[in-house]
Amino acid sequence: MVEIAAYFLAEHRGFAPGGADADWLRAEQAIDAMLADGAGRAALDHGDLAEGIRNALKLSPGPTHRGEHG
DSSP 65: -
Confidence of residue 15 (pLDDT cuts 50, 70, 90): very high
User: Which has the higher per-residue pLDDT, 9 or 54?
Assistant: 9
Q: What is the structure's pLDDT at 27?
A: 92
Domain ranges within the chain, ordered by starting residue: 2-57
Q: Is the dihedral of CA 25, 70, 8, 16 positive or negative?
A: negative
pTM: 0.67
Return d(Cα 32, Cα 29) in angstroms, integer.
5
**Average pLDDT for the chain:** 78
Mean pLDDT of 2-11: 92
Q: Assign 3-state DSSP to the chain and report helix, strand, coil percentages, each to 5.
A: 65, 0, 35
Confidence of residue 56 (pLDDT cuts 50, 70, 90): confident
